[in-house]
Structure 1
Amino acid sequence: MPKLEPEIADEAPCSAEFTAYDEEHLVTYLRLLDAETDGADWREVARIVLRLDPAVDPDGARRCWESHLKRAKWMSGYGYRYFLKKPRGS
């Protein structure tokens, strides 16, 4: 089940399969994609969506944001197919 504010890992998965992490972070991925479409600054997105402070760890926040945005794009292009095939209630 997707969560509104799940725990955020330092980096998103890079598996070719849909993961439990992906399922929990569907809302996060959608928010990242929306922010990119709106042209939001990555620092603002890291602060609001990923709940990270880029002023404290700019490199870590940037890596986290980049990996999650990359995964969000993977989900929107390919990963959603795994989600749609997943039996409900699992």
Structure 2
Amino acid sequence: MKQPALDPDVADVAPNESVLTTYDEQHLVTYWRLLDAEAAGADWKEVARIVLHIDPDREPVRARNAFDSHLARARWMADHGYRDLLRGGTTE
């Protein structure tokens, strides 16, 4: 696995696969930042703006969908996906 980018651009919707994806590996830092923001009780709009680089005032539906899907994926990574990382990452 290559070193994940510190602040990558994100897709409008995070993957919903049952296995680790290349996108997941590239967005590990994004997922960690989302989980940290959630634990700190940060406002989702601020997180969308800072972490996902989507302005929720200009694109409220896109921002909310991206936030919700990436946070869900971050939770999946914390509960399940990390196992694939420990095994060496994706096979793609």
TM-score bucket of the superposed structures, by smaller chain: over 0.9
Count of residue pairs brought into register by the alignment: 88
- The answer to whether structure 1 residue 60 and structure 2 residue 45 are counterparts is no
Matched residue, 1:9: 11
Give the gaps of 5 or more residues in structure 2. none
Deviations 1:40-78 (A, max 9, x none): 000000000001100011011000000000000000000
Q: State the alpha-carbon separation in 1 of the partners of residues 13 and 72 from structure 2.
A: 10
What is the TM-score when the length of structure 1 is the normalising length? 0.94
Letter in 1 for 2:78: S
CA contact (8 A) 2:9 2:53 kept: no
- TM-score (norm. length: structure 2): 0.92
Residue 33 of structure 1: how far off its partner (Å): 0.1
Please give the secondary structure, in 1, of the residue aligned with 2:55. Answer: coil
* One-letter identity of the residue aligned with 2:77: M
Percent of pairs with identical residues: 56
Asked whether the equivalents of residues 35 and 71 of structure 2 are also in contact (C-alpha less than 8 Å), the reply is yes
- 1:65-76 matches, within 5 Å, as 65-76=67-78
Q: Which structure carries more relative contact order (alpha carbon 8 Å, separation 6+)?
A: 2
Q: 1:22 aligns with which of 21, 24, 27?
A: 24
Please give the alpha-carbon distance, in whole angstroms, between the structure 1 residues aligned to 2:5 and 2:54: 17
